[in-house]
Structure 1
Amino acid sequence: MSEGIKDAAELPDAAAQSRASVLRSRAESYIALSRYDAAIADLTESIALVPDNARAWRLRGESHRVIERYEAALEDFDEALKLEPDSAYALGSRGQTYAAMGRLDEAMTDFEHALTLSPDSLWILEAKADVLVDLDRLDEALEEHAKIIALNEDLPYSWAARGDLYQRMHLYAEAIEDYTKALEANPAYVRALSRRGEAYRMIDRYEEALADLSRAVELDPENDRAYGSRGAVLSELGDNEAALSDLNRAIELDPEYIWAFRVRGEILQEMDRHEEAISDFTRALHLEFGD
């Protein structure tokens, strides 16, 4: 971390420029290590030394955004854009900040501007698709995902992201197809295995669901969602004891996993363990509604 901010007046211009440049570079390494407060300290000094460097404002804005200091992030991105009005990076990052604050229309404006400057930017396309989902413009979101996949069909994340959207739309066959594409690119992709298992569960293909979810748990023993989904599958297959074991594990990993409490309560109810069922339903109501 920088050892006391140097006043620009104390340094000749060339020295100030040199020090600010090194501070910006060190900040980038701090950011790569997720040491955002250290990065912000370096960038703050760098800006004090050289206020007209857009990169410093962008990097500090991004650091503020990642640690959810959204108002500070907006101020920094605004400054960056005064210096570089056509920075797709700053526009995209400011759009992400607006989205995190629920200011979705402003986010869309920034994303659309950014994409006129950098139409093949995957991360901005993904951010725009997410906002379209939040705006319930799901067909338009699908169009953005199609663009993302067309740009690089080898990225498993892109297939899985569209699969998640299909699943949200209850288009389970399409979701399964996309998750399968993701797994062809990366057979050990836990997210795709877990989500495909859930999609199989939703269309009552329990054996296939069980295989996917078991593989997901094998690869990631702390995947609470995979345990929860597998618990529901095991219950459908008639093995309530194994189902309870999985749901217990899911809740142990995430004590606020509302859906797992509800499913475990239903299984306990089916087993005539009504006091325990009431406890789980009560916990689910408290978590979801504050009862």
Structure 2
Amino acid sequence: MAAKNAVLDRGTEISGLLTQASPFRRKTTLPAALIALLALAGCSTTTSTDMITVDRAQGSQENISSLSSVINSSPQDPEGYNVRGTAYGRAGEFSRALEDFNRAIQLNPQFYQAYANRALVYRNMGKPVEAANDYNRSLQINPNYDVAYIGRGNIYRQAGRTNEAFNDFNKAIQLETTDGRAWHNRGLIYQLRGQHAQAIDDFSKAISLSANSPEPYNGRGISYVALNDDDNAFADFNRAIELNDKLAESWANQALVYERRGDKARAYKSYSHAMRLDPNYKPAQDGAARTRANT
């Protein structure tokens, strides 16, 4: 990969579906408001798809020394700073990453990838305004940069500006992005609008593009629940747990299906596990309160 193409803000790829589901017991109809609450929770997942997964090895002395030697041999080449900044960002060393992206941009003010990379670091530092400004600048330079549309769309979505977010995800998709987050995040907006068939299509596309990511499975499962397709919902929630068993939302979603089946004991067990993972996750708190007396 050329140094100028070093991009920090890329989604991961996902493996195939789990198709089998456990046999149903009696289905319990839950209030529509509860489904809406879980769908909303899915729109602000405990593991955001635009947050950096820290890999300390990226910041190892050996790796950084190697990248620094490239910079030392060509100190006026902005691409070396962009690559090292990407490594620092992935290692969670955000201040050093900013320094490198700043230098890359100083050397080449038209370096749109460096703006997008710096934007993601700002996003992870809790500075959405600075991040949005950098995404805007990246898109001014290259209006066809899908990564910047997805990144800016995430900022809009989390700020509740869903129409603007939808337009950004649409644009990335029109540009034929191969980043599954564009479909996943557009699916969340369809879901919020109650357009569950469209949401399921988008989550399925995200799954086909992004291996090993539980988020689209959780999203698609919630839309299946909203359409009373509990078999497919249960399969998706179980698959999400297989991919990452540390997410409270996956366990709470699985518990929801148990609850709809009338299996309150298993529902309470899964809700309780979700609470151990994230004591502040409200769907798990509420679900445990509903099912506790049945254990």
Q: Give the TM-score normalised by the residue count of structure 1.
A: 0.68
Once residues 212 and 93 of structure 2 are traced to their aligned partners in structure 1, the CA distance between those partners, rounded to angstroms, is 35
Q: 1:164 aligns with which of 179, 183, 188?
A: 188
Task: State yes or no: 1:36 paired with 2:52.
Answer: no
Task: State yes or no: 1:134 paired with 2:158.
Answer: yes
CA distance 1:176–1:63, change in 2 (3 Å):
same
Report the Cα offset of residue 187 of structure 1: 11
Q: Is residue 271–residue 288 contact of structure 2 (8 Å, CA) maintained in 1? A: yes
Matches within 5 A, 1:1-291: 34-38=57-61, 39-152=63-176, 156-168=180-192, 171-182=195-206, 190-202=214-226, 204-217=228-241, 220=243, 222=245, 224=247, 225-250=249-274, 254=277, 256=279, 258-259=281-282, 260-268=284-292, 270-271=293-294
Once residues 134 and 211 of structure 2 are traced to their aligned partners in structure 1, the CA distance between those partners, rounded to angstroms, is 36
CA distance 1:184–1:59, change in 2 (3 Å):
closer
Once residues 171 and 214 of structure 1 are traced to their aligned partners in structure 2, the CA distance between those partners, rounded to angstroms, is 23
Q: Is residue 184–residue 216 contact of structure 2 (8 Å, CA) maintained in 1? A: yes
Aligned to 2:44: none
Which deviates further from its counterpart, 47-56 or 128-137?
47-56
RMSD: 3.6
CA distances 1:226-253 after superposition (whole Å, capped 9, x unpaired): 332111121122111232343355456x
Aligned residues: 242
Report the Cα offset of residue 138 of structure 1: 1.3
For the residue of structure 2 that corresponds to 1:68, the secondary structure is coil
Structure scoring higher RCO (CA < 8 A, sep ≥ 6) equals 2
CA distance 1:70–1:185, change in 2 (3 Å):
closer
Which deviates further from its counterpart, 63-72 or 124-133?
63-72
CA distance 1:34–1:125, change in 2 (3 Å):
farther
Identity %: 23
Structure having the higher helix fraction is 1
CA distances 1:196-238 after superposition (whole Å, capped 9, x unpaired): 1122334554344234334555x54736433321111211221
Which deviates further from its counterpart, 189-198 or 56-65?
189-198
Which deviates further from its counterpart, 122-131 or 159-168?
159-168
Report the Cα offset of residue 66 of structure 1: 2.2
Which deviates further from its counterpart, 133-142 or 149-158?
149-158
Report the Cα offset of residue 68 of structure 1: 2.9
Once residues 120 and 263 of structure 2 are traced to their aligned partners in structure 1, the CA distance between those partners, rounded to angstroms, is 44
Which structure's CA Rg is the greater one? 1
Structure 1 residue runs of 5 or longer lacking an equivalent are 1-23, 274-291
CA distance 1:214–1:120, change in 2 (3 Å):
same
